[in-house]
Structure 1
Amino acid sequence: MSHDTPYIFEATDADFQQTVIENSFNKPVLVDFWADWCAPCKVLMPMLEQIAESYQGELLLAKVNCDVEQQVVGMFGIRSLPTVVLFKDGQPVDGFAGAQPESAVRAMLEPHVALPAPKADDPFEAAQQAFAEGQYAQAEATLKAMLSEDNSNASALILYARCIAERGELGEARTILDAVSSDEHKAELAGAKAQLTFLSQAETLPDAADLKARVAQDPNDDEATYQLAVRQLARQQYEAALDGLLKLFKRNRGWNEGLAHKTLLQVFDLLGNDHPLVTTYRRKLFSALY
């Protein structure tokens, strides 16, 4: 029965003190007393191994072959097989005799062992989360690995394009977006293209600090207000940008052929309909229009 991983191992008379008792001061150790002739043992053991695997190292599983390790068996007075004992801080804290359903075993372990934090199983979700938190390099690496296995995922391609756009590869990002032609991803595409537009516009604009100074000096400087909003959009400072664009729209609706209004709509595309800022600013725009 060799299924040895760092946290699943055979324990013997010779090393029981170290592998079980001493180890249990760091992590709980589940000890499975089994024997070759015991049919229920053979059902129970693979299940215990699976449970130990699911704890990803938070629980150790020691297997004691009772036909061989007579000393340990005598020490704990094991009468029937299988017997399973949980050790913690050098002491047996719980256990059971006889085969048990998985739910019962897990219920016994629950008070003593912390389950590992669930990892985002879905790499795309993990990448979306990293992107939302501004960790573009991490998101890009995750997506790259994903796309190398399957490059037909339109959402992953669009997000990948947005990642490389964030580090200035605008041409390459545009090429990727142009290659995605999927009707069901219209909104995502529109959003990604809006982001590219803002990033490429921002490249040619004065520094945000200079623009802020101009707006502070003259709050009615339409061009500076607009350019500052684009700078903010490129940096994903959406609320500040929306605020500036809305003020500009209210103050000078026709400026530059209604550019403030057009840009507001682009930002709505970029953030998507269910974004709280979109809900708020759509309402504000609506009341400014009518």
Structure 2
Amino acid sequence: MSQDTPYIFDVTTATFDQLVLDKSFDQPVLVDFWAEWCAPCKVLMPLLAQITESYQGELLLAKVNCDIEQDIVARFGIRSLPTVVLFKDGQPIDGFAGAQPESEIRKILEQHVVMPPPAEVDPLQLAQSAFSESHFAEAEALLKQILSEDNTNAAALILYARCLAERGELGEARTVLDAVKSDEHKADLAGARAQLTFLAEAASLPDAADLKARLAQNPLDDEAAHQLAIQHLSRQQYEAALDGLLKLFIRNRSYADGLPHKTLLQVFDLLGNDHPLVTAYRRKLFAALY
């Protein structure tokens, strides 16, 4: 039943005073007296662990295996399992016997332990999450707020440009990207520029249905294959685009002066090196090259 973290640990007769009594002068320590044969103990322990973690270090959880640590059981007169005792300033100050619901346990703890304030969420991370889920308007609103406070934030500028691009404001998106002065975000900047390129190209191409019809009539129509990949990219259908580009590269790598290879590299820039599709298709491209 071990699930130790920095805030949760097993204690023995030899370590009890140091790990429970001494530590309880710095923050309260909840001691869970349990045994392997005790079914309610096995239900309660994960709940106590979850509650302890929610306190982010303001509360510790010590676990005493009563089958092994008989001296501690006798020392504190434990008569039934599970029993949970809260220690503070070296003394037992509260507790309960038997499994309890989370609400009741928290009521006991809130009298003795201060719940830390919720961690602040980085608005840029929120914007990135919204963008990745195609909630572009939500992302754009967050980014405008960030940029109103700091209009030189390179990461925010790049993502804002991508939001503009997604709603067709390609010229404005380019202007925003041109305002990025930081060298720290070269990969993101390359990806954003690739996105603008694909969206601009797609606007002047036949639609996807027509291109698919051409390929149905002639699977070796290299121009239609490449244009369909661009259309896929403009709709964020990245796997379909990469698959089409790789097949075109394998079939005719010299098409339009090596355009399939160049476009594949642009897609890698767009998605970033850590994207699983990039990892997979870099491997496939390497295999095709060598």
**TM-score when normalising by structure 1:** 0.61
Match of 2:113 among 102, 105, 116: 102
The answer for the alignment partner of 1:229 in structure 2 is: 229
- Amino acid corresponding to residue 184 of structure 1 in structure 2: E
- Alignment partner of 1:160 is 2:171: no
Partners of 1:259 and 1:172 lie apart in 2 by 27
Partners of 2:179 and 2:233 lie apart in 1 by 24
Partners of 2:170 and 2:111 lie apart in 1 by 59
How many residues align structurally? 187
Partners of 1:100 and 1:208 lie apart in 2 by 64
The answer for the alignment partner of 2:197 in structure 1 is: 197
Partners of 2:187 and 2:281 lie apart in 1 by 18
After superposition, give the CA deviation of every residue in 1:66-91 in whole Å (9 maximum; x if it has no partner). xxxxxxxxxxxxxxxxxxxxxxxxxx
RMSD between aligned alpha carbons?
A: 2.4
Give the % identical residues. 71
**TM-score when normalising by structure 2:** 0.61
Q: Secondary structure at the match of 2:134?
A: coil
Q: Secondary structure at the match of 1:261?
A: helix
Question: Is the CA contact 1:120–1:126 (under 8 Å) kept in the aligned structure 2?
Answer: no
TM-fit CA distance, 1:119: 8.6
Partners of 1:182 and 1:287 lie apart in 2 by 35
Partners of 2:278 and 2:104 lie apart in 1 by 55
Question: Is the CA contact 2:161–2:173 (under 8 Å) kept in the aligned structure 1?
Answer: yes
Moved segments of 4+, more than 3 Å: 92-96
Question: Is the CA contact 2:152–2:180 (under 8 Å) kept in the aligned structure 1?
Answer: no
The answer for the alignment partner of 1:248 in structure 2 is: 248
Q: Secondary structure at the match of 1:176?
A: helix
Q: Secondary structure at the match of 1:216?
A: helix
After superposition, give the CA deviation of every residue in 1:201-259 in whole Å (9 maximum; x if it has no partner). 00000111111111122111100000000011011100000000000000001000000
Q: Which runs of 5+ in 1 are unaligned?
A: 1-53, 55-91, 107-114
The answer for the alignment partner of 1:277 in structure 2 is: 277
Q: Secondary structure at the match of 1:102?
A: coil
The answer for the alignment partner of 1:219 in structure 2 is: 219
Question: Is the CA contact 1:130–1:139 (under 8 Å) kept in the aligned structure 2?
Answer: yes
The answer for the alignment partner of 2:267 in structure 1 is: 267
TM-fit CA distance, 1:191: 0.3
- Amino acid corresponding to residue 220 of structure 2 in structure 1: N
TM-fit CA distance, 1:181: 2.2
The answer for the alignment partner of 1:182 in structure 2 is: 182
Partners of 1:216 and 1:196 lie apart in 2 by 29
Partners of 2:232 and 2:199 lie apart in 1 by 10
After superposition, give the CA deviation of every residue in 1:99-137 in whole Å (9 maximum; x if it has no partner). 95325xx6xxxxxxxx9xx79711111110111011111
Partners of 2:253 and 2:221 lie apart in 1 by 14
The answer for the alignment partner of 2:140 in structure 1 is: 140
